[in-house]
Amino acid sequence: MLDAALLRRWARTAVAALERHAAEIDRINVFPVPDSDTGTNLVLTMRAAVDAAAQDGDSVAAALARGALVGARGNSGVILSQVLRGIADAVAAVAGPSRGGAVLADALVRAHRLATAAVTRPREGTVLSVLSAAAVAAAAVGSDRLDDVAVAAADAARQALRETTGQLPELARAGVVDAGGLGLYLVLDALAALVSGRPPAEPPGGGARGPVRGRDALVAARESGSSVFDYEVMYLLEAPDEAVAALREELDALGDSVAVVGDGEGTWNVHVHCTDVGAAIEAGVVAGRPHRITVVRFADQIAPVPDRFVRPRGVLLVAGGAELAELARSAGADVLDPGAADERGIAAALRDTRARHVVLLPCDADRTPVAERAASAARRDGQEVLVVPTASVLQGLAALAVHDPERRPGEDGVAMAEAAAGTRTAALLVAESEALTWVGRCEPGDVLGLSDGEVVLIAPDLAVGALWLAHRMLTAGGEIVTALLGEGVDDALGEGLAADLRRTHPEVEFVVHRGGQAEYPLVLGVE
């Protein structure tokens, strides 16, 4: 059923899909203005919807729609808000708990009607074409099975998206599909994947070559007739329904890409490309009360500036110790010391990678929420960041070992996350005082084996502790054992463990590195 739980999961999954492909969507953004922000705008709009739905309220669908309307960014965000409003209206129209495929079909039909009405001059080959195809396909299924309708809508959207290249001259010249249409397809495919169990599909490619960049792109767009204006103006408006028709006419006379959408309760989101910013805002004042006014000058966005991204991909790993840091760097990662890994420090390190797409490995479960906040700030600034949860440095190194910059970012992130999750870690610690543990009383100088934050063994020395801990970890199986020797620990510890494992577990590969960590004499990982 299209209930509150599924709507929340869909919204979160859609955000993740848009985040994975935001850079690609930005790259192919050529219509109506090649300002390379459609992917970013869609992500920010969908996040605003998710944030609104996270608050307590009577209707998740209504909260998603309201959040998207208030937080909509750009023309693409405005259209996306109407898709969510169509869902909210369709859900509200159903009496009782039955919310299956028929409701989704109704929602897409409503969404297309709302989105088309919001645009003063709709054109074929845009997100509206993709939405229309999805709505028609959903309605044609004739079933109340949510999975059937969702899959039909997503598949039709995918086909319509491919066709956009030949429908708009601007897209044909650049050899790309419509950026907004790609974003909508990702949102619909996220639902299809959730309810059918099929994996999310890779979207149709944007073409062999990307759009023209910089001032040349702006000139090309103007020559094609898609934009002759200098500014994007957006604001929220409190106004009665009867005032909106006159506002649309006034804005259409001032510019293009006019979209005025509402929530049905007197709040409107207004979008226009124009040259006379003052007149666009004054039109809002005549209609009602404009607020949250934003003005973007296209030349500022499009003018050629040194690209802060000098490489497409990067990995940032949080690790302490000079030897461990050097090990990570030799594997291709940028390294941040844990002492500097607060939110501001991680954000600065992400910028310093100068990579467009970064996989962030926090290497500490407690550090993951901080990493997520820093990653969110980086995404708002146009950088794609994926945080792979890693509870230890060895999980981070396991993820780094399978990193492949030639693979698609989404696929690479999944492979790294799987490698990290498949690595069990434990460590040895020397007791400094007498204490009672889960496995008995320890004395100062005893060697403690730690796993998942608990003491699992007490050994008389490091050599014995290393053997006991490794054998204990291998009872659950494993193919590779990695050891990190701590600061000041003799190499003989690793050599002795290697000799024992060759004898007792010849099927296991053993790797030892000098980690240089101060707290733990030995850290073990089993994959």
Last residue of a domain, one of 219, 236, 261: 219
**pLDDT tens-digit readout, 434-461:** 999 888 999 999 999 998 778 999 999 9
pLDDT of residue 36: 64
Please tell me whether residues 43 and 153 are part of one structural domain: yes
What domain range includes position 378?
313-420
- What is the Cα–Cα distance from 57 to 199, expressed in whole angstroms? 31
Whether 169 has a pLDDT exceeding 80, the answer reads no
The token pair at 383 is 């950088």
**Confidence class for position 35, pLDDT limits 50, 70, 90:** low
Residue 184 CA to residue 132 CA, distance in Å, equals: 11
Q: Is the pLDDT of residue 192 over 50?
A: yes
Choice among 54-68, 99-113, 378-392 with the minimum mean pLDDT: 54-68
Least confident of 2-6, 273-277, 378-382, 507-511: 378-382
Domain assignment present for residue 307? The answer is: no
Return the pLDDT at 430: 92
**How many percent of the chain have pLDDT more than 90?**
29
90-120 pLDDT tens trace: 988 886 655 688 999 999 999 999 888 877 7
Task: Examine residue 255 and state whether it is found in any structural domain, yes or no.
Answer: yes
Please tell me the distance from the alpha carbon of residue 465 to that of residue 460, in angstroms, as a whole number: 7
Return d(Cα 513, Cα 126) in angstroms, integer: 54
- Between CA 315 and CA 357 the distance in angstroms is 8
For tokens 């954000």, name the residue: 347
In a domain? residue 130:
yes
Last residue of a domain, one of 199, 219, 239: 219
Cα radius of gyration (the chain): 27
DSSP string, 401-449: HT--TTS-HHHHHHHHHHHHHT-EEEEEEE--S-EEETTEEE-TT-EEE
Domain shared by 263 and 317, yes or no: no
Domain presence at residue 365: yes
Which range, 166-170, 247-251, 440-444, is most confident?
Answer: 440-444
CATH of the domain at 499: 3.30.1180.20
Count of the separate structural domains present in the chain: 4
Q: Which of 80-94, 168-182, 365-379 has the lowest mean pLDDT?
A: 168-182
Same domain? 268 vs 162: no
Average pLDDT across the chain, whole number: 84
Task: Please tell me whether residues 91 and 214 are part of one structural domain.
Answer: yes
Q: Does residue 14 sit within a domain?
A: yes
Same domain, 142 and 205: yes
Q: CA 493 to CA 501: how far, in whole Å?
A: 13
User: What is the per-residue DSSP string for 461-480?
Assistant: SHHHHHHHHHHHHHTT--SE
Sign for the CA dihedral angle at 319, 320, 324, 326 comes to: positive
pLDDT higher than 60, residue 64: yes
CB–CB of 438/366 below 8 Å? no
What CATH number corresponds to the domain at position 170? 1.25.40.340
**Is residue 306 domain-resident?**
no
Clarify whether residues 8 and 126 are in a common domain. yes
Whether residue 150 sits in one domain with residue 23: yes
Side chain identity at residue 247, one-letter code: L
pLDDT at 213: 43
Residues 319 and 459 in one domain: no
Q: Is residue 346 part of a domain?
A: yes
Question: Between residues 140 and 167, which one has the greater pLDDT?
Answer: 140
> Considering 386, 420, 454, which residue would you say is the last residue of a domain?
420
Q: What local confidence, expressed as pLDDT, does residue 41 receive?
A: 83
Query: Can you give the CATH number for the domain in which 341 is found?
Result: 3.40.50
Q: Clarify whether residues 429 and 412 are in a common domain.
A: no
Position 38 scores a pLDDT of 81
Confidence of residue 124 (pLDDT cuts 50, 70, 90): confident
496, 479: one domain: yes
Is residue 308 in a domain?
Answer: no
pLDDT, tens digit, 9 for 90 and up, residues 207-247 = 333 333 433 444 333 333 345 677 888 898 898 988 888 89
The helix/strand count (H/E) of the chain reads as 20, 16
Among the listed residues 39, 38, 42, 40, the one whose alpha carbon sits nearest the alpha carbon of residue 11: 42
pLDDT band at 296 (very low <50, low <70, confident <90, very high): confident
Q: Which of 334, 307, 82 is nearest to 184 (CA)?
A: 82
User: What pLDDT digit, counting tens, does each position of 298-348 carry?
Assistant: 766 544 444 568 788 999 999 887 788 888 888 889 999 888 889 989 998
Whether residue 443 sits in one domain with residue 399: no
Q: How does DSSP assign 72-134, residue by residue?
A: --HHHHHHHHHHHHHHHHHHHT--SS--SHHHHHHHHHHHHHHHHHHBSS--TTSHHHHHHHH
Residue 350 clears pLDDT 80, i.e. is over it = yes
Mean pLDDT within 128-144: 91
| CATH number of the domain to which 290 belongs | 3.30.70.1150
Residue count of the chain, please give it: 527
Element (H, E) at 271: strand 267-274
Can you spell out the DSSP letters for 205-224? P--SS----HHHHHHHHHHH
Using pLDDT thresholds of 50, 70 and 90, give the confidence band for residue 191. Answer: very high
Examine the domain organization and report whether 412 and 455 are in the same domain.
Answer: no
Q: Does a cis peptide bond (omega within 30 degrees of 0) precede residue 32?
A: yes
